[in-house]
Structure 1
Amino acid sequence: MAAGSQVSQVNSGLMKICTAAEVKNETQLMMKSYANWEEFLMPGPTSVAILSELIFISAADDFPLNRDTPDKKLKFVKHPESFRACMMQVCNQGWRAFNTAHKNMDQIRLYSLNIPNDIKMVVQTLMQEDTRIVEALLPPQLNKIDRVAKNCLKLANSVEESYLGVIDLIGEILEVATAAKSSYTESLKEAERAIEEAQIRKKSAEKAKELAEKHFKEMQEQMKENKEAYKEAMSSLPGGWAMIGLALAESLKDSIKCIPETIKNLTQNPLAKSYPEAIGAVDCDDEERKDDLGATNNILTKSSQLLQAANSLNVFVSDEEINMKELRDQKTKKAKSEFSKNIFTRIKQEVEREKKCAARKAVLKICEGGISICKDLEKIVGSPNHQLEEKLPSKIKEFFGKVLELNSSSNRLTNTSTFQCKSPHATKASNKLSPPSSVLETSINMAQYNVEQAKSELKNVREEHNRSFENMKQCDKELDEILIMMNKCDVKQIDFDTTLKILVQGLKALGRVKEQWTKMVNFFQMMSNLINTHLSEKLTEFVEECKEIPSIPGYSHSSFIKDMIYNQAFQANNIANLVHMISETYVDVSRKHLMDRVSSLGTLMSLEASDPQFKKIRKQIQFNSANAKAAIQDLVNKSKEEFEERIQQRIDKINTDLKAVLPAATGEQMQAIQSSVRKDPMLIIEELSEEDTDQYV
């Protein structure tokens, strides 16, 4: 088959599985475990039921909360002299919080509905060849999306603060109440645990906001680093290596903060295991255990660049021998491996600036191994060395296998998809290329690896979602137990112990509701950050800087910047789509199953305990809450089935559209590929961190 025809077939297969719609779908699948819309809904009915129970228990004997501490000033409680008044204050604030949530989520739904159209305008602008037109049109378009993100951020913040106010109020009531009735030892301990948990969640939310700001600054730094890396790579790109240059440009574009991992870090349960424990790094020393997630993320996102550099070394190996004709640049008479060495050296310098961690050790070892091989290749170009020439092919093969393993581990740990959306300008350029057979062969080998890697990732996503689903079922079971306990209560049987228990459960349930809104706040902060990284971008300045640097045929320097902006806009669009799905579902469920119950709270608060309607409305709220939970559970089960189908459809599409057009890999090749993508990710990084590097350097 002619090289041009084979390139066309592979490109066609890639385009079919890397369309914006396909990649958007896969990104949503990868984010599913950390941004479940179901989690926004599950605690709602229980929280409303708990608020009704608080009204109910306030009908029991009243007593002052501040009997023993009448002079103590309280921050949130307005009437500490009356427990009944405190319960009514909680219910009033809770009622307002749920009303605000419904209203604001509906506005968010409408805002997020328009973002995809705004992104389309951005893409159309980026497709313009004239850089001056792009500079004139792009800033106002990006500003419009940024304004929407900021408006949604205000709406989400408002709801988060509403729930936080209720949580702080309940927490203060618990503190004062347990001090007043400290004889209830077990209830006191449970109350203290609930207060502590609420504080942890609050601190976690504050930390997430700090992390979002840090993430924004890191993105800006990565933008600068990637532009410098691009200029350096283009300066040393050997002739005939346009396809490798394009692949490197794509890896630079895709390395800017992978969105699924950022969402995971910003939205993970603050009560879950710490990151080092979660990934199995239990043997890290104290210094490594203290590392924040940023250093590990920053380092691991460079793995795709390392893979492209390592893959370029395969160009020099033909039939288990070093192809000296391919290795020696006919113009400069130097080794073409200098291109790869520059990448390894640059990444090594960048990684050395990061904090100590297992990933840092692993990547530094890889960089050192790559530099060592490149130096050996330079030696045999300068003066023939048959002994070294015989060793290098197996050394390169083994080294490439280690980099494949590192990249596979990196994708697993950072939740990065193998197949990213193809940038418009890079795609246009790649369709016009006719690379040498050696370069084509390495590209085909990479495609074969990517197929297996993507399938492995999707299977891991399925497993992660199943774990998340089981965890959600456990949380739902806990909520059910709360409702059962409350339904058994009778106003005559209400004692302080029962009151404390219901308050504690109210604190926990509302804490879960508030946590989901914290996620929503983080989504909009991320979206705004993605857009803002490019608002100050001057394409003409970068083009001017690169005037003396050679470019890839059909792919200008401004095309590289446009593709980077496209990537960020595409990521923002992914978040907008996710938010729209969450907001649309929330508003629908809230309208059908929550707001009528919330409105009933107002009626219940206005009635006396002796009124026959009081018990009737209470039972109706309990009944409706149970029905709402059942309806939401049906939605959850349906969503899980759809998720499983979408995972399988994606795997089938990869097999049909890409794997089918690739030459069949040999048994040895397939075994090596499957081995590299199936190992435990953290175990690989720990292995690569060992001092002994003789096995691959």
Structure 2
Amino acid sequence: MASQICANQYDISKAVLNVSRAADVKEEFELQMKSKTNWETYLVPGPMTIALLGELIMISASNDFSIKKNAPKDGYKYIRYLESFRACLMQVANEGYDAFSMAHRNMDEIRLHSMNIPDYIKQIVQILVQGDDQLVQLLLPDHLINMKDISEECTALSAAVENKFSSVIHTVQELLEACVNANKVYQENLEDIQTSIETTKMKEKAAKETKETIEKQMNKMEKFVDEAHSQLNTALNSTPSGLDMVVIDLIHGIWDGFTTLGSSIANICTGKRSAKSKCNTVRREDASENKQVCHIDEIPIYLKSNILLQYAFRLTDYLDKDKKLDMQKVYDARRDIVTSDWIKAGFDEVHKNMAGEHDCAPKHLALEICRMGIHVCNELSALAKSNKGNSNDNTKITEDIQELLNKAETFNSLNKKTTSAPAFIPQSPNMVNMPPRTGGFQSERLCQFKIEQTKQQMRFAQESYDKTFEAMKKANEELNEIIVSMQKLKVKEVDFDKTVKMLIKGMNALGNVKEQWEKMVRFFQMISSHIKICLNKSVKQLGNTSKTILKSVTYTSNSFVRDLIYQQAFQACNIANHVHMISETYTEVSDLYIMDQVSTLGRLIALNPNNSEFEKERAKLAKGCTKAQARILEIVKKKKEEFENKTDMRVKKLETELQPLIRGITPECKKQIEKNVSAGMRPLTTDELSQFC
């Protein structure tokens, strides 16, 4: 029987390795991010925005007037021609042309730069697996510096385009403000303009705050590296000898926390912070929709969920197959020790570290889990010392252990939903050859739990993608209506009312493009942060004495540091891969369907609107933009189908390769796991929003 359990556990461990290969985890990360940064969706309005700029040139031929009246005392910062509304429209068209041209050039450079990062990662892994610390210290910094240089160059390229689009938006915004100040706006348009300007300013403020909080959190990444070492030392110093594989499980929990850190910051970098944390604040950008925003100070709290889950699972090791307490495992009579004391020490440390964290509902839940864990450990210790291990009082403790595990699973699922961290993480080079645990039921439950988490994550990713797609179509239809109505008019038929409406729509469309470039800047800042920590801290730590910490599995402290470097480099590569896919998509779409229209816009700018050739070029631009938009929409639909197929394939791979090996989970247990995952991942109700947010 024991040999069958070991054989099955070996098969499960092998299957877990197979479904958590680096390529699989990268793709799952890509799927999680795809629903928030699908650039092809945001490129759909591109051609019509260019057509809109072309219409502004046409409008500039109509009756001109001054917008200088009632200008601010210090003047305007962006618009340059207050004496001529016509000239201001031409300024907007020119700046829009420059922005789209720069976007294409810079994104192509980003594509070329980012395609080199995976090669550096391969070389880094080859160095790390050699096990030679001097070789790592000698060769690794050069590769890391190359990656750092690439990320900083790409940051500058992204920031330049972001600033360019921001400048166009500011010009349009000031133009609308000038129209209001000059009393050129009818009352019915005044509210629309003021709302649009206010929304733009709020988005700018939110973007600035997001940038500051992300920088703040990335600066804390070094602190997390120190905490990782602290958690490892606590486990080593308090774990009884002979439990080396338990320590390996805890190390997996530390890696899981590091993946959570990377995913959570990347999730916030997308600017679409839709996590349903129970203490999230609510920002109302639209009267019809509540958008929940994850507070960045909650991230360190969620990082604790992985290690708390491991401690909760370790307590279930004291239960037999009938879920009854096995006191022989709790109390080691030969050495006269209570073997659960090290778990209590772990709960104590997490509880202590939580003291200075942000006060919110996730913190309260984490503290409750710590208190429950400490209470259970105290009860186990009291039973062992009073020799009452065989009494009927054990039922309460077993129930408490099960309840603790349920809460830990729910908290961990809340973490996965909030941070978009994958359930399965890649094995580090020095860990991949470690022998599998023989935990039987506990290991099977953990696998079943992660399968259920992945299913839910893939479902939520699809739902998020669908919502983005529908919102894009609606916004695009509104923009099209404005453009089509303008294209039907002659120069003399254009009135100021229609011009204002078009400027508002144009500003919103350009704002969406700018927001995507903001995300690119943040992504590259993340890559730089990971690399800086590797260079400034982790590589230097390899100079420490190579002290063996797990003799039976020959895992040293320097092995831990090398694996830590791998995890940091892998996170950087994850982001780089995502950025490269974005840049490839953008460059391909822009090259095929946007730059031709930009070139036509350039010719239109050079022509006099009263020239007979102007109407021909205007018609050519309109026709080309309509055709390009239709082609881009076809690409979007194709990409959406590919996305849905990939999410389905990810779930199917788990169900076919791993699920059949999990034979010890009862229907009741499986149902409880599904309940725990759903409790952590489900959207909050209106009452809960009012209660917690």
| Alignment TM-score > 0.5, same fold | yes
Taking only aligned residues, the RMSD between alpha carbons, in angstroms, comes to 2.8
Q: Which residue of 1 aligns with 2:170?
A: 168
Say yes or no: does 1:265 pair with 2:268. Answer: yes
Q: Which residue of 1 aligns with 2:524?
A: 524
Give deviations 1:174-228, integer Å, cap 9, x for gaps: 1111211345112222121221122122222222321221121121111111111
Give deviations 1:519-548, integer Å, cap 9, x for gaps: 111111111112112111255646747848
Letter of the structure 1 residue corresponding to residue 120 of structure 2: D
Give deviations 1:239-285, integer Å, cap 9, x for gaps: 34322211210111221244443233222259x99976978999xxx
Preserved CA contact (<8 Å) 1:281 1:682: no
1:153 to 152, 155, 159: 155
Q: Which residue of 2 aligns with 1:693?
A: none
- Unpaired runs of at least 5, structure 1: 283-288, 689-697
Preserved CA contact (<8 Å) 1:406 1:685: no
**Following the alignment from structure 1 to structure 2, what is the Cα–Cα distance between the partners of residues 66 and 524?**
42
- Rate the CA distance shift 1:143–1:449 in 2: closer, same or farther, 3 A: same
Say yes or no: does 1:502 pair with 2:502. Answer: yes
Preserved CA contact (<8 Å) 2:608 2:614: yes
Preserved CA contact (<8 Å) 2:280 2:295: no
Q: Which residue of 2 aligns with 1:568?
A: 568
Structure 1 residues 239-388: aligned runs within 5 Å: 239-256=241-258, 257-269=260-272, 293-318=295-320, 319-329=322-332, 332-385=335-388, 386-388=391-393
Q: Which residue of 2 aligns with 1:285?
A: none
Preserved CA contact (<8 Å) 1:48 1:598: yes
**Following the alignment from structure 1 to structure 2, what is the Cα–Cα distance between the partners of residues 615 and 278?**
53
- Unpaired runs of at least 5, structure 2: 285-290, 689-693
Higher mean C-alpha deviation, range 380-389 or range 20-29: 380-389
- Rate the CA distance shift 1:552–1:415 in 2: closer, same or farther, 3 A: farther
**Following the alignment from structure 1 to structure 2, what is the Cα–Cα distance between the partners of residues 400 and 543?**
39
- Rate the CA distance shift 1:276–1:55 in 2: closer, same or farther, 3 A: farther
Q: Which residue of 2 aligns with 1:403?
A: 408
The DSSP-based 3-state class of the residue aligned with 1:422 is coil
**Following the alignment from structure 2 to structure 1, what is the Cα–Cα distance between the partners of residues 238 and 483?**
68
Q: Which residue of 1 aligns with 2:7?
A: 5
Give deviations 1:634-671, integer Å, cap 9, x for gaps: 11111111111111111111011111222242122222
- Rate the CA distance shift 1:551–1:619 in 2: closer, same or farther, 3 A: farther
Identity %: 34
- Rate the CA distance shift 1:247–1:415 in 2: closer, same or farther, 3 A: same
Preserved CA contact (<8 Å) 1:406 1:684: no
- Rate the CA distance shift 1:369–1:654 in 2: closer, same or farther, 3 A: same
Q: Which residue of 1 aligns with 2:425?
A: 420
**Following the alignment from structure 1 to structure 2, what is the Cα–Cα distance between the partners of residues 614 and 535?**
58
> Shift of residue 5 of structure 1?
2.3
Letter of the structure 2 residue corresponding to residue 407 of structure 1: N
> Shift of residue 613 of structure 1?
1.3
**Following the alignment from structure 2 to structure 1, what is the Cα–Cα distance between the partners of residues 520 and 213?**
15
Q: Which residue of 2 aligns with 1:122?
A: 124
Q: Which residue of 2 aligns with 1:24?
A: 26
**Following the alignment from structure 1 to structure 2, what is the Cα–Cα distance between the partners of residues 70 and 291?**
35
Letter of the structure 1 residue corresponding to residue 363 of structure 2: R
Preserved CA contact (<8 Å) 1:546 1:557: yes
Preserved CA contact (<8 Å) 2:309 2:412: yes
- Rate the CA distance shift 1:155–1:167 in 2: closer, same or farther, 3 A: same
- Rate the CA distance shift 1:278–1:212 in 2: closer, same or farther, 3 A: closer
Q: Which residue of 1 aligns with 2:691?
A: none
Preserved CA contact (<8 Å) 1:248 1:308: yes
Preserved CA contact (<8 Å) 2:214 2:269: yes
Give deviations 1:375-413, integer Å, cap 9, x for gaps: 111111211232543421222122212212222222122
Report the TM-score when normalising by structure 2. 0.92
**Following the alignment from structure 1 to structure 2, what is the Cα–Cα distance between the partners of residues 269 and 27?**
16
Q: Which residue of 2 aligns with 1:534?
A: 534
Q: How many residues align?
A: 677
Structure 1 residues 685-696: aligned runs within 5 Å: none
> Shift of residue 77 of structure 1?
1.7
Say yes or no: does 1:202 pair with 2:207. Answer: no
Q: Which residue of 1 aligns with 2:515?
A: 515
Letter of the structure 1 residue corresponding to residue 342 of structure 2: F
> Shift of residue 687 of structure 1?
13
2:77 to 44, 52, 75: 75
**Following the alignment from structure 1 to structure 2, what is the Cα–Cα distance between the partners of residues 686 and 48?**
41
Preserved CA contact (<8 Å) 1:291 1:357: no
**Following the alignment from structure 1 to structure 2, what is the Cα–Cα distance between the partners of residues 71 and 412?**
50
> Shift of residue 141 of structure 1?
1.1
Preserved CA contact (<8 Å) 2:444 2:665: no
- Rate the CA distance shift 1:113–1:544 in 2: closer, same or farther, 3 A: closer
**Following the alignment from structure 1 to structure 2, what is the Cα–Cα distance between the partners of residues 70 and 384?**
84
**Following the alignment from structure 2 to structure 1, what is the Cα–Cα distance between the partners of residues 654 and 685?**
28
The DSSP-based 3-state class of the residue aligned with 1:33 is helix
Preserved CA contact (<8 Å) 2:253 2:307: yes
**Following the alignment from structure 2 to structure 1, what is the Cα–Cα distance between the partners of residues 500 and 372?**
62
Q: Which residue of 1 aligns with 2:588?
A: 588
Preserved CA contact (<8 Å) 2:441 2:664: no
Report the TM-score when normalising by structure 1. 0.91
> Shift of residue 102 of structure 1?
0.6
The DSSP-based 3-state class of the residue aligned with 1:492 is helix
Q: Which residue of 1 aligns with 2:190?
A: 188
**Following the alignment from structure 1 to structure 2, what is the Cα–Cα distance between the partners of residues 547 and 274?**
43
Q: Which residue of 1 aligns with 2:399?
A: 394
Higher mean C-alpha deviation, range 185-194 or range 508-517: 185-194
Say yes or no: does 1:177 pair with 2:176. Answer: no
Q: Which residue of 1 aligns with 2:287?
A: none
- Rate the CA distance shift 1:205–1:595 in 2: closer, same or farther, 3 A: same
**Following the alignment from structure 1 to structure 2, what is the Cα–Cα distance between the partners of residues 673 and 552?**
33
**Following the alignment from structure 1 to structure 2, what is the Cα–Cα distance between the partners of residues 495 and 418?**
57
Letter of the structure 1 residue corresponding to residue 365 of structure 2: A
> Shift of residue 483 of structure 1?
2.1
> Shift of residue 125 of structure 1?
1.3
**Following the alignment from structure 1 to structure 2, what is the Cα–Cα distance between the partners of residues 571 and 513?**
26
**Following the alignment from structure 2 to structure 1, what is the Cα–Cα distance between the partners of residues 91 and 508?**
18
**Following the alignment from structure 2 to structure 1, what is the Cα–Cα distance between the partners of residues 565 and 505?**
46
Preserved CA contact (<8 Å) 1:352 1:360: no
Structure 1 residues 476-495: aligned runs within 5 Å: 476-495=476-495
The DSSP-based 3-state class of the residue aligned with 1:353 is coil
**Following the alignment from structure 1 to structure 2, what is the Cα–Cα distance between the partners of residues 274 and 93?**
39
**Following the alignment from structure 1 to structure 2, what is the Cα–Cα distance between the partners of residues 263 and 517?**
14
Higher mean C-alpha deviation, range 532-541 or range 507-516: 532-541
The DSSP-based 3-state class of the residue aligned with 1:265 is helix
Letter of the structure 1 residue corresponding to residue 603 of structure 2: T
**Following the alignment from structure 1 to structure 2, what is the Cα–Cα distance between the partners of residues 401 and 277?**
20
> Shift of residue 338 of structure 1?
1.5
Higher mean C-alpha deviation, range 289-298 or range 234-243: 289-298
Higher mean C-alpha deviation, range 308-317 or range 340-349: 340-349
> Shift of residue 97 of structure 1?
1.0
Preserved CA contact (<8 Å) 1:67 1:180: yes
